[in-house]
Amino acid sequence: MPFVPRTLSVNWRRGVLDVLKNSSLQTARAQAMKEYATTLWSYVRTAWVEKARTRLISWMRRSRLEPMKRVALTIRAHLWGIVNAIVRGVTIAGSESVNARIQRVKRMACGFRNKQRFRNAILFHLGGLDLNLAAVSSTHTDS
């Protein structure tokens, strides 16, 4: 089965999803469930997310695929967080960006003597301080 980019028409993707859903291969069924799960992110109303999520979990639990059953239990356990993230359009991009910047500070230093020095380096590099002395107005006047 070829990779289906998200930019293709919805009708074409729906046709591919139907082919996968009706396939007897376990990997094809798992891929179809994954594709259906990605459609959850397009909803904007909580009720529609709930309905689609219920349908997805039911399908996963009846699939006779143990990994998909485990995923269904995980989705059900973290339901409210998932629904809130979908409806509000929240991503973890900001925290991933901060984490990448912290890792860069760690690589640049090639290790720290203790946790306090590492913390100080993170605060120094990511604290958002303006260290340009020309931009700071002087409190002293020439008299």
- Domain range summary for the chain, segments of one domain joined by +: 10-88, 93-126
**pTM of the entire structure?**
0.46
Question: Going by C-beta distance under 8 Å and a sequence separation of 6 or more, which residues neighbour residue 46?
Answer: 83, 87
Phi, psi of 112 (to 5 degrees): -130, 155
pLDDT greater than 70 at residue 32: yes
Q: Tell me the pLDDT band of 27, cut-offs 50, 70 and 90.
A: confident
Looking at residue 13, its pLDDT comes to 72
* Burial group, residue 43, by CB count within 10 angstroms (0-12, 13-18, 19+): middle
* Mean pLDDT estimate for the chain: 78
- DSSP for 112-140? -SSHHHHHHHHHHHHS-----TTTSPPS-
